[in-house]
Structure 1
Amino acid sequence: MQEATGPRRVVVEGVTPEIDGGRFPIKRACGETVVVEADVFADGHDVLGVRLAYRREQDAHWAEAPMEPLGNDRWRASFEVSALGRYRYTVLGWVDHFATWRRDLAKKLEAGQRVPVELLVGARLIQETGRRASGDDRAQLQRWADELGRQDRSDADRSRLALSQDVQQLVARYPDRSGQTTYDRELTVVVDREKARFSTWYELFPRSCSPIPGRHGTFKDCEARLPYVASMGFDVLYLPPIHPIGTTQRKGRNNSPDAGPGDPGSPWAIGAEEGGHTAVHPELGTLEDFRRLVAAAQSHGLEVALDIAFQCSPDHPYVKEHREWFRIRPDGTVQYAENPPKKYQDIYPLDFETAAWQALWQELERVFRFWIAQGVRIFRVDNPHTKPFGLWEWVIGRIQRDHPDTIFLSEAFTRPKVMYRLAKLGFSQSYNYFPWRNTKSELIGYFTELTRTEVREYLRPNLWPNTPDILTEYLQHGGRPAFMSRLVLAATLGASYGIYGPAFELGEHRPREAGSEEYLDSEKYEIKHWAIDRPDSLREFIGRVNRIRRENPALQHDWSLRFHPVDNESLLAYSKQTADGSNLILVVVNLSPHHRHSGWLDVDLEALGLEAERPFQAQDLLTDAYYLWQGSRNYVSLDPHSAPAQIFRLRRRLRTERDFDYFL
């Protein structure tokens, strides 16, 4: 049976953003705005007072913002999040008897009706308001109530007083909320630092940084590589696991089950007699060397991100010290990792269904806290979809409670609902299906889902055209133009993106075998010596694209993404703009790495704040070429072998003075 609600006449429902009935928080970065809408209505025709209430989670008192009507009982307001951590918000509504009376009084006066009784009702309402006020406000309200109740004054004089802005504004400070309805749940916003929203990642293996071919690289060698990475405009240096690597069942070159005497093994086969997840590989250096690398990276504008892979080699100390954390087979051996028919004998997965799961969770939390103590605040988590959802919600929540500047990237190339669940549980950024979205319709459909649906409230995509595990068919066969176009797509469709280098800028495209996305001579199983100064390197091109990202705020957000029609299926056009329209970027990409393609681009001028009758300037930021366009239809032509993409900054024409055009 429904419980009686008494005098509460207002209904509050349909609040957005709200994820799964408030079960999960939405995400924002510092300085961003949360726009809240709700359906708020009551029986009858009374005027409503509607407020958005919000506070930082640790604050006791709520701030409020009036919600404005949008029509059809829909209301909207917003608030800015300015501090890391969590905020709460909800919606309040009540019947505003004074505003209702004031509205009806105005209608009766407009109709020429006499209103002596109505004015006495108003006097009583103002007097009641005064009882809720104090000090000078209380005295002023009582004076107005007395004036309104004086029948020796004309109705016209009293009506002017009743409808004055001064009376309206002071009464509104002290509304009667005795019948207020509060939305039945408080919703949550997780506020991250800006890098969770806008970041540019570069992945490299420290062991391949040695200037001497064949020699195992060190943290000091990696430190020497920092100027190279920084010169391309990256701000996150992501390192695969840096821990000791097991020798038992070590994999050889090209994932061979038989390792040779000089094979270094896979960094993801974590653990040896030197230690496990809180130790560093002795050939890389010491923990002090690592801390020095972190500090040196910061001096170059780079932040070090570490790979956290919760799995063990057969030689990991956990295997001996905590056998209960692993699945034991009937023959007494530990179950190794499998993805039938593939076998990974060099890796033991942890058994998260163990009766000792609490101790296991606490140990994994300790691993994060250990590296935080070494200065790391960004973690790329390997295969989180193969570990319990509950673990991630628990550990991320606890870590971010104490270190709200920590960022977690989910590396889960799995089913959409699983990817989305991980994002809801707390991961700051997420890998996604971008590497395999190549056609125009695929890209438009996927990025519409990521930026125009509820998904955008909790999942921040981090776009990677390649990884050590992913060499797509497009990159295998598209040559240099494919690498250039995929870089532009990643860097401009998404506010956060990354590349695995130097494989990417050097165009590494050879698969282990036909139909495989594994690299031939993969760096996962051997030390590579990269000729980073090769003249055919994309280093300069990457640097220019990243500079464009830094200099154009429109590319530092995802939600303004809008696609524009082009009458050629091989050409993709889209725009981004800042909220105030001061920075407007239009990108056109040739999706074919082999052939020139041309077409007529139909720009949505109204959406971009451009006028059809006035020309506007289009500056190609990749080539510094300038064009003067007018109208919605403009011709574009892209040769993938010279310029597979154009990144235009559009400027509105303001005026013409003599022979000079002025653009904003």
Structure 2
Amino acid sequence: MPADRDLDSVAGMTRRADLRLGITDVAPVVSCGSFSARAVVGEHLPITATVFREGHDAVAANVVWTPPGEDGAAQPLRRMARFGQEPDRWIATVVPDRDGLWTYQVEAWSDPLATWHHAVEVKIEAGQGPEDLANDLEEGARLLDRVAGEASDEWRERVTDAAAALRDTSRELTARVAPALAAGLQEYLHEHPVRELVTGGPRYEVWVDRPRALYGSWYEFFPRSEGPVVGGTPTHGTFTTAADRLPAIADMGFDVVYLPPIHPIGQVNRKGRNNTLTPGPDDVGSPWAIGSAEGGHDAVHPQLGTMDDFRAFVARAQELGMEVALDLALQAAPDHPWVTSHPEWFTTKPDGTIAYAENPPKKYQDIYPINFDNDPEGIYAEVLRVVRVWMDAGVRVFRVDNPHTKPLDFWHWLIWEVKKTDPDVLFLAEAFTRPAMMHQLARIGFTQSYTYFTWRTARGEIEDYGRELASNSHYMRPNFFVNTPDILHESLQFGGPPMFKIRAVLAAMMSPTWGVYSGFELFEHVAVRPGSEEYLDSEKYQLRPRDWAAAEASGHSLAPYLRRLNEIRRAHPALQQLRTLRFHSVDNPNLICFSKTDPGSQDAVIVVVSLSSHHTQIGTTALDLPTLGLEWYERFAVTDELTGASWDWGQFNYVELDPYREPAHVFSVTRPRVVQVPPPVA
């Protein structure tokens, strides 16, 4: 190198201290760090990285895990450990204990104590004597001197004695090194290492939510359908009558009660039964056609009651251990007050009329979509105001209707503006759309997302989708709804009652958050027409009262089964996880087998489900036992949480499922040894 060259610059590039050692493939990271990764309070979050260096000296790594409001300077050392088949992959598990914005940084460093330890052991094994190891022994002593300078009173003497032994030429070689290599001291040195060439990687963010962001059971119902039937004619329900339904929902074990829009419904272009354009005078219209002369998004439909009645409904749900999720549908009926006060918020066609919503061939004549490119400042401020109105009324969870039809930058702004003051508020994205948009909505801040689960029915596609979700669990949390007012899948239309059980087990056991729309427990399965996923006599357009008591008394109700599934979920922390979902081989394509584990509680569950609702299925599982913390040869006890039966299991196990008796096994595993591993790559 020429003498006049700057030693800090090579080929025009500035020398960087943070590149001294190699740190790559850090996870969890979202969009190269552009957005925060996600976790919840109490969740075991694996942080992984590839760490390496030149030459043969030992390298080590740690994670600097920093709580909200702190700088990480005084955080305890969290060492990473090697894992997996690749020699340079490292892992550490962290557990956040509060919500808010955490950060982490992977640090790589040269480990002179490990380098020295290895060198001395190899040379002694090779027969080298004290004269050959003179420099090695002194180097070890000097390293221990450095440790002693920072050691506690309890350990300083022991470290100093080990250094003195290395320098004591009157001892045999093995006696000189024995104190330094003793197991107890080695454990201390592991936690109090000598770190050289410390190289810090980028600092990444992890937004930590309350546990409900990851785990919960949702129940959707229309309060307006909970009115009494008088003379064979249903009457409009109120928040007071709807509150009478809450104890039964709580008894089924649901955590979240989700209400479709509860605002005034437009009169102009109101839809009639089964989405007709010719409503009768008593037709109630679609709740998603929001707004009339009676008010807009910040008002309660007068037939449901008042804002005080809604607050009382929320309070009653809370008394029963549930919370209320409210629909946030940013659109307007033609007679919404916004149409008059802010016509610029909508799109005007060449003929001067306002464009209504369309998704060809579907038409929504009763709904005007908002044009967010017209007066974004005014629209943003109004939506935030509306959201805070309902937050003040006790709502901490919002189910957002069609977020994929609104700008991404709007959602990013709104969600984080809310979380600045109220980090406990959660947002569920109802975005049945292209994968890129669904994933980006999750990245920018949505707490949960509806998924394609409803349309995944074959084993291969269920497994592929489950792996995809588990591999993206650091930012995208699924909510597996088995049905919605818009989606009655053909599997439920033609599968009979056993299929309702099958889909419920798959949703409740695979996803930490799942949901049902009212009527599922009554096996409602008739579509408006062949080939349609719309319900006949859809509750979106008419009152649909149900005789719950008669159904349960006759045994024609799935409510007890849903209750049992939710009881199992609450009893097993493993079922409240997503990133630990693993699939296992089974030699019948009509059977699916998967497991979930919880490293914190050492809980493990194995689920086997028949995908056929008409025929008995038999097969043999081939379990990946190490994912359960077991050795390949081990036998272990399993207990079916649905029936109470127990078996002795191993790697290979015979199963037989009759869908008319019980289409699934949900096995608790006795005494597994669960180890934290990162989710699989999709």
Structures share a fold, TM > 0.5?
Answer: yes
Among 72, 79, 92, the alignment partner of 1:61 is 72
Deviation at 1:175, TM superposition (A): 4.2
Distance 1:479 1:162, change over 3 A: closer
In structure 2, the residue corresponding to 1:593 is in which secondary structure?
A: coil
Q: Which amino acid aligns with 2:474?
A: E
In structure 2, the residue corresponding to 1:186 is in which secondary structure?
A: strand
Structure 1 portions without partners, runs of 5+: 654-664
In structure 1, the partner of 2:93 is: 78
In structure 1, the partner of 2:431 is: 412
Equivalent runs, 1:445-456 vs 2, <5 Å: 445-451=464-470, 453=471, 455-456=472-473
Q: Is 2:62 the counterpart of 1:51? A: yes
In structure 2, the residue corresponding to 1:180 is in which secondary structure?
A: strand
Among 71, 83, 91, the alignment partner of 2:106 is 91
In structure 1, the residue corresponding to 2:14 is in which secondary structure?
A: coil
Structure-1 separation of matches of 2:350 and 2:143: 81
**Cα deviation 1:43-63 (Å, max 9, x = unaligned):** 222233422111023212342
Instruction: Give the alignment's Cα RMSD to 1 decimal.
Output: 3.1
**Cα deviation 1:252-305 (Å, max 9, x = unaligned):** 111112221111111001111222111110110010110111110111111111
Structure-2 separation of matches of 1:98 and 1:359: 62
Aligned length: 645
Equivalent runs, 1:188-267 vs 2, <5 Å: 188-212=205-229, 213-267=233-287
Deviation at 1:552, TM superposition (A): 2.5
Q: Which amino acid aligns with 1:468?
A: P
Structure-2 separation of matches of 1:139 and 1:616: 46
Q: Which amino acid aligns with 2:530?
A: A
**Cα deviation 1:420-441 (Å, max 9, x = unaligned):** 1111111111110111111122
Equivalent runs, 1:392-407 vs 2, <5 Å: 392-407=411-426
In structure 1, the partner of 2:3 is: none
Structure-2 separation of matches of 1:150 and 1:611: 44
Among 200, 213, 220, the alignment partner of 1:182 is 200
**Cα deviation 1:529-574 (Å, max 9, x = unaligned):** 1111222122222222222222233222223333333333222232
Deviation at 1:41, TM superposition (A): 2.0
Structure-2 separation of matches of 1:465 and 1:167: 54
In structure 2, the partner of 1:658 is: none
Q: Which amino acid aligns with 2:109?
A: W
Among 392, 404, 407, the alignment partner of 1:385 is 404
Equivalent runs, 1:384-533 vs 2, <5 Å: 384-451=403-470, 453=471, 455-501=472-518, 503-533=519-549
In structure 1, the partner of 2:680 is: none
Deviation at 1:647, TM superposition (A): 2.6
Q: Which amino acid aligns with 2:599?
A: A
Structure-1 separation of matches of 2:642 and 2:166: 73
In structure 2, the partner of 1:589 is: 609
Structure-2 separation of matches of 1:172 and 1:432: 43
Distance 1:607 1:312, change over 3 A: same
Equivalent runs, 1:315-326 vs 2, <5 Å: 315-326=335-346
Distance 1:163 1:617, change over 3 A: closer
Q: Percent identity?
A: 44
Structure-2 separation of matches of 1:432 and 1:17: 21
Contact 2:140 2:163 in 1 (8 A): no
Distance 1:105 1:448, change over 3 A: closer
Structure-2 separation of matches of 1:91 and 1:587: 36
Among 543, 561, 574, the alignment partner of 1:541 is 561
Distance 1:611 1:242, change over 3 A: same
Structure-2 separation of matches of 1:7 and 1:607: 35
Distance 1:273 1:90, change over 3 A: same
Deviation at 1:393, TM superposition (A): 1.6
Contact 2:638 2:649 in 1 (8 A): no
Structure-2 separation of matches of 1:612 and 1:257: 64
Distance 1:149 1:587, change over 3 A: closer
Q: Which moved more, 1:38-47 or 1:330-339?
A: 38-47
Contact 2:147 2:192 in 1 (8 A): no
**Cα deviation 1:229-248 (Å, max 9, x = unaligned):** 11211111000000111111
**Cα deviation 1:120-175 (Å, max 9, x = unaligned):** 55666666778x85997999799789969989977968766776776995798584
Structure-2 separation of matches of 1:51 and 1:309: 45
Structure-2 separation of matches of 1:244 and 1:569: 49
Structure-1 separation of matches of 2:508 and 2:624: 22
Structure-2 separation of matches of 1:99 and 1:652: 34
Contact 1:133 1:174 in 2 (8 A): no
Q: Which moved more, 1:342-351 or 1:132-141?
A: 132-141
Q: Which amino acid aligns with 2:304?
A: L
Deviation at 1:638, TM superposition (A): 2.8
Contact 1:124 1:145 in 2 (8 A): no
In structure 2, the partner of 1:575 is: 595
Distance 1:11 1:141, change over 3 A: farther
Distance 1:5 1:264, change over 3 A: same
Deviation at 1:522, TM superposition (A): 0.6
Deviation at 1:349, TM superposition (A): 0.7
Q: Which moved more, 1:84-93 or 1:150-159?
A: 150-159
In structure 1, the partner of 2:366 is: 346
Structure 2 portions without partners, runs of 5+: 1-11, 673-682
Q: Which amino acid aligns with 1:317?
A: P
Q: Which amino acid aligns with 2:80?
A: M
Contact 2:113 2:193 in 1 (8 A): no
Distance 1:16 1:145, change over 3 A: same
Deviation at 1:595, TM superposition (A): 2.5
Deviation at 1:390, TM superposition (A): 1.2
Contact 2:512 2:576 in 1 (8 A): yes
Structure-1 separation of matches of 2:240 and 2:393: 16
